Structure 1
Amino acid sequence: MAFLLGIGEQDKALESNAELLQQMALLKYLQSNESSSASSTIYQWITAARIGNELYQRVSGKRKIEQFRAEFLAGVVSYLQKNPNASPKSQKTEIERLIGVFILQMKSL
């Protein structure tokens, strides 16, 4: 069901303000419409769920956290691929540097 709502790990369905406002206007229209058909009710529910998910994503910072995490892991992998014979000390130094960047990014939230 989450697939149908556009809710998931890579959800970017309503990331732009215009898309979010459009969905909010649609929900208001659907709620004010006097039609009480089952399809209208389902469409209202889906629209409300998408809006709720987007607001949660924005308030929680979940997307940013996942982005920072992915950047950190990509940095570690990239360093290790470019420096396969690096000493454990230089590996530790680089990973500590990347952790520092990650921490600064998290503090910026």
Structure 2
Amino acid sequence: MFFLIKHFIYHHWNKLRNKLIKIFISIMIEIIINFLLIMLFCITLFFGCLSLSFFISFYFKDYFIGFSIVTLLFLFFFLFLFFLGKRIIRFIVNVFLKKYKIIEK
């Protein structure tokens, strides 16, 4: 009798452990993939900005002007996000909520 109870507990513990391991692995894979995608985006953005700076520098024949223009573009972009970012995010969220009929307005 004791053997059957021990076997029952061991069997169910293994099922639970396997489910927990699968959940943990799926969460870790999601985190790693998101991290790698963010790193790829940052590298692409860096090289894109660098090539844009060199292109503008080549066009104006001055490195200072090329890198200054790209810096000003980033400054304007971040100021735009700083002042209007909350409104933009609210608009996007409301559009998705209305699209999937989560809220009615």
Same fold (TM > 0.5): no
Instruction: Give the structure, 1 or 2, with the largest relative contact order (CA under 8 Å, sep 6 or more).
Output: 1
- Which structure carries more helix by proportion? 2
Structure number with greater Rg is 2
